[in-house]
Structure 1
Amino acid sequence: MNAHGIDFAGSALTLLSSGLLWWEAERTLCASDLHLGKSERHARRGGSLLPPYETGDTLQRLDAAITALGPARVICLGDSFDDAAALGGLAEEERLWLLRLMAGRDWVWIEGNHDPGPLDVDGRHLAELTLGPLTFRHIAEDGASPGEISGHWHPKIAVNARGSRVARPCFVTDGSRLIMPAFGTYTGGLFADAPPVGRLMERSRTLAILTGEPMARLPVFSMPKGKRPGAMRAPPRLRRRA
């Protein structure tokens, strides 16, 4: 499993190539912006018709990570469903699949702007969650204390690939905040240097950690001379569940 380790607010975190975050010390897996039911929501609202397979694909990738890591806790960092009605629009097998993934785990649904308020599904429904030095919320807040982990913006960055520019989802961090990429299959993104993201970050220290293969870290903004971004450590060996 391709991964990068970072020291964040005194905690050893592992950023996975899939776009998930693994906090081994707390056996906690975090996913942001699943947007389950997006194709159903588009069809229901008379929008463009999308192939209705994204929920199954998103659940399959999440299932693979849960099987490999065996987390005791899963945090879904908001916009888990594409709107408040999307849960009811899931196929029965998709709903049962989700319930199987949740079984026996502390499953936390953080409220998002697409799915505010408690939904008719098991688990804990919270506006935000603080665990030790880390606070998990959907949208980064101005003036937040160090250790904030959020989603919402679906950050991406343009890179050169085989002579052309392509956009890849990424984690964005300045060592104080961490913004996660969207995990859902049908999710676009906002460039990491766009004003809504840039105004939150200490620009001289802001890194993008690319998802996919290969993972890489890149400065988001031009680095002033003599400045270096915070170092990343080698990730720990990821232990699969026995």
Structure 2
Amino acid sequence: MNTTLHAVAPSPCPNDFDSIAFASSRTSTYTVECADPHRHDRAVRLLIERMYSWRGLAPVDADVATARPDRITLVASDESAIFGTVTLGLDGREGILADALYPEELARLRRRGARLCELTRLAMDTHHNAREVLGALLHLVYIHGRLIHGASDVVIEVHPRHAGFYRRMLGFSPIGDERVCQRVNAPAVLLHLDLRHVDEQIALHGGTSKPGLRSLYPYFFSPEEQDEILRELGAPH
């Protein structure tokens, strides 16, 4: 991915993920950083509302997630605008958002000893290099959830017509049938991914950008870049 790391001024992001931004010079220059509600809230809301409405969804909560220490919102931006965002939620006493629709499915995972995290409010302006930016965003939430907080499994609620993308490109599997998600006023299915699969795919494909491979993992960072990011964060690895 030809990625360089840059220190940036700390923002009010929980869990020590606030002082690193990332820039890729392979096709364009952009940064990925923790969202600051004072600088990014309106832009994040507009991006989510625009990209969700384009797909026929209606988000009811698109504010930057900083009120709870178990959630982190990341944003990708260039000099002109924010064009990508995702929020990572960590499981805890209050559970995760997917518990509202899929409590039994998540309870089964927890009984097996799973330490859960979830992806929500993923939005990407497709005018940019979507695969490269998605790879950076998703690898950074993987680092935060898996390597820093020890999550073992990730879940995501998606519209049924988008489930195929997550299955093909990341290896998710469906574990919940179709229901109506009130957060976006649309049908949803619950997808699950054992993060050991992500460990393996990063080791095999991270940073390679292999042409023709139907996967997002070549657009993740390389294992060496991942180690550099962890050193910058002061996290053990």
Same fold by TM (over 0.5)? no
Computing the radius of gyration from Cα coordinates, the structure with the larger value is 1
Per the normalisation by structure 2, the TM-score is 0.30
Which structure carries more helix by proportion? Answer: 2
